Structure 1
Amino acid sequence: MAERGVHRPRATDGGHRVLMIVGPAAGGIGAHAASLVQGLTDEGWQVVVATAPVTAARFDLGPHVEVSWPGRRPVAVWRALRRLRALAAGADVVHAQGHQAGLVALLVTAGLGRRAPSVVISWHNAILGAGILRRARTLLERVQVRRADLVTGASQDLVDRATSLGARRAELAEVAAPAAGRAALDRAAARALLADELGIDPDGDWLLTVSRIAPQKNLDVLVDAARIAQGRRGGASERGVVWLVVGDGRDDLLASLRASVAADATPVRFVGARSDVPTWMAAADLFVLPSAWEARALVVQEALAAGLPIVASAVGGLPELVANAGVLVPVGDPHELAEAVVGLLADPERRAVLAAAGRRRWAALPDAADVLEEWTARYRSMM
């Protein structure tokens, strides 16, 4: 593994051209794409990006964007696809980040004949749902994996699914571990600052969740678990317990969650999106993530780096990622989630063991330089 955070540019790939198609993204997908684009550019690759304006702005992709993500108006869609097709015809590789981007990549490369580039589709998440919608999505997945030259998954279950649907080549492609965010304040100072802002007990037990407000994040399960844990508080700690949720997303879902919390004074606070996440992690006692599905969530990697014991769903790529640095619970079970949290709050020695294991786990994860090396090798293998 390369020294973490060290990248040595080289100018040996100036003739190689990559068209990166990135669907609308708010989290790990956008951060991963931005890191990969920057690394490729530093090494001399010619990279063109197609993405939505909001994604380009959020992840500083603007200098590389030559076409916007197809909009909703038919004329805009037609123009974007026509431009993308021209770019694809001049590329060595078209790399689609996500399911939607994969469909766009197949559309714009169809029928190019000898001008056709190699097509890579990276799956970063599972498609959830049931019934007709689920069957339709499975059909679209099957089309993707059978036409792509390579399908990668951010977790092994995604790779296994691509293989089962007929992928010619499917591989695990880990997302780079983020650099350890250094909080500007130590634990005591971070707690004092946030406690004053939020009006909460600086000496209490703080449980942190960093997440989009979205159905798949199972934040209703978190609220239920907080309610259950509150009833068992005396067995866990004499101190106050507060569950802090950092992140934004769907306003209607947030309103519903806040109404549920207010109905019986459940100790959950939704504090919105924050740019100072390292400060929140420095102040917290546990990191909690009850999602219905995750791959190798960047926020969990950040929690590992911060030495936060983790309580998370046993789903997707989380068991492999968390390893011995936390407690895994069944998806959608607030009782098990509450039990895990209460148990850890009552056992500071175990929390210390998990914190140390988390830091070791983070140190062993691939960094941006490692991931870039893997991707350039994949690209070259298809040229």
Structure 2
Amino acid sequence: MRILQLCTDFPAGGIQRHVLDLGSGIRERGHHVAYAGTRGAWMNETVDPLFTHIDIFKVTKAGGPTLLRLLNAIKGGISLRRTLVKERIELVHAHESAPALVAWLATRGLGLPVLVTFHGAEPERITEFGRIARLTADLVITPSYNSACDLAADGGVPKDKVVVMGLGVHKRPRPAIPDVESLRRELLGNDGKTLVVTVARLAHQKGIDHLIAAAKLALATNPALRFVVVGDGPQRDLVKEWLDEAGVGGSVRFVGHSENASLYMAAADLFFLPSRWESLPITIVEAFQQATPVLATDTAGVSELVTEDVGAVVHIGDIEAMASSLLFLTSDKQRLQHMSEAALKRSEDERFSPRHVQDSFERLYEQWLGRK
């Protein structure tokens, strides 16, 4: 098979990791896989010779007025069409709505199937995504059953046009105990007793402002809590303002991007993800792999991952509930230990196995090429 994986852009992120892992797995099975999208740190011409730069980022809302974005989409479609012909691509797998639109424009008259994956969006955008998906895609893929229901109910996508496919998450080795203990000592300092870690981009989606507000409320009751956020992003300057306003800079620490986020997860007593929207967050599975319980907001597939035996789920934006759950979950070390054991066991589910997921996608691609 000759497959093109099409992404908006390629910064460090969960969607990009899924796209690259999927493409790599399909390649290992002997198929031809090319990539396209706006170049970034994780994928560009120097990283992979089968990458084509097409500035799809300018097709998103960040691209400016609607007319300008439409012109960028047409321009991107023309460039992508050249790549499809040159690489003799047989199927395009787009990730999110802007790539789906560009793929649809590029494939007019070529008879190529276009599949699009929905990786989650704020509720008000689901209708828009559904409208674009109905126009552009032969099939809509999503990793979450709840997201599939949202696409049908709010996006108007026919149920028989939506399929749920897992997200393979490569197992990270458990860090050495001395390394974990050393990091805990550093992050807890002299007065900290309990470590709460978040791994996320500093972006509106991830609810970092909610994290700081919840931390402030929880610290008023338990000053021995310590919060650490691993990640970087467009809100890095805002974060400094939020910390100053909340007055919790001594207990909430931002360490920036790390190539060893799993070490921070292993050092944590609790993983905290206060996102405004998600579909099926890879970071939750990675926390489970490090035997770390999870507190997260009830976004689409989160409740499919996090149950009371491995943590807790609270409503999006409910700061008081976040603070209460932070205090409750970290108040009993024995309960945390039981949750830790259950989290590690859950990480071994087949639905998180990259090989299982890649096998499933290979069969799906073959099915659609057979239909063609």
Match of 2:117 among 115, 122, 125: 122
Match of 2:78 among 71, 82, 101: 82
Q: 1:96 aligns to what? A: 94
Say whether the 8 Å CA contact 2:122–2:277 is kept in structure 1: no
Distance 1:194 1:358 in 2: 20
Match of 1:242 among 226, 232, 241: 226
Match of 1:177 among 169, 193, 203: 169
Q: Deviations over 1:73-118 (max 9, x none)?
A: 98987664323113335322111012221121112123x1xx3101
Distance 1:320 1:139 in 2: 24
Distance 2:204 2:161 in 1: 32
Q: 1:108 aligns to what? A: 106
Deviates more, 1:301-310 or 1:168-177: 168-177
Q: What TM-score, normalized by structure 2, do the two folds share?
A: 0.85
Distance 1:357 1:95 in 2: 35
Asked if 1:314 is matched to 2:305, the reply is no
Q: 2:282 aligns to what? A: 298
Deviation at 1:144, TM superposition (A): 1.7
Q: 2:28 aligns to what? A: 42
Q: Tell me the secondary structure at the aligned position of residue 363 of structure 1.
A: coil
1:88-237 mapped onto 2 (5 Å cutoff): 88=84, 90-110=88-108, 112=109, 115-129=110-124, 134=125, 138-139=127-128, 141-164=130-153, 165-167=156-158, 168-183=160-175, 185-186=176-177, 189-193=179-183, 195-196=185-186, 200-201=189-190, 204-233=193-222
1:284/1:117 Cα in 2 relative to 1: closer, same or farther (>3 Å)?
A: same
Q: 1:3 aligns to what? A: none
Q: 1:277 aligns to what? A: 261
Distance 2:132 2:104 in 1: 9
Structure 1 unaligned regions, length at least 5: 1-15, 235-239
1:58/1:357 Cα in 2 relative to 1: closer, same or farther (>3 Å)?
A: farther
Q: 2:311 aligns to what? A: 326
Q: 1:379 aligns to what? A: 365
Distance 1:214 1:376 in 2: 33
Deviation at 1:68, TM superposition (A): 3.2
1:55/1:101 Cα in 2 relative to 1: closer, same or farther (>3 Å)?
A: farther
Q: 1:9 aligns to what? A: none
Distance 2:196 2:188 in 1: 15
Say whether the 8 Å CA contact 2:196–2:271 is kept in structure 1: yes
Q: 1:260 aligns to what? A: 245
1:279/1:34 Cα in 2 relative to 1: closer, same or farther (>3 Å)?
A: same
Deviates more, 1:86-95 or 1:69-78: 69-78
Q: What TM-score, normalized by structure 1, do the two folds share?
A: 0.83
1:54/1:231 Cα in 2 relative to 1: closer, same or farther (>3 Å)?
A: same
Structure 2 unaligned regions, length at least 5: none
1:8-47 mapped onto 2 (5 Å cutoff): 16-25=1-10, 26-47=12-33
Distance 1:232 1:44 in 2: 57
Match of 1:54 among 22, 29, 40: 40
Deviation at 1:373, TM superposition (A): 0.8
Distance 2:277 2:57 in 1: 28
1:267/1:44 Cα in 2 relative to 1: closer, same or farther (>3 Å)?
A: same
User: Match of 2:130, as an amino acid?
Assistant: E
Distance 2:348 2:113 in 1: 34
Q: Deviations over 1:174-219 (max 9, x none)?
A: 1102313331x31x543434644x5823862111111111112111
User: Match of 1:321, as an amino acid?
Assistant: L
Percent identity, aligned pairs only, is: 26
Distance 1:60 1:39 in 2: 20
Distance 2:24 2:145 in 1: 26
Distance 1:221 1:370 in 2: 36
Q: Tell me the secondary structure at the aligned position of residue 332 of structure 1.
A: coil
1:284/1:71 Cα in 2 relative to 1: closer, same or farther (>3 Å)?
A: closer
Number of paired residues? 350
Q: Deviations over 1:315-374 (max 9, x none)?
A: 211111123311111111111111111112221111111111101110013311111111
- CA RMSD for the aligned pairs? 2.6
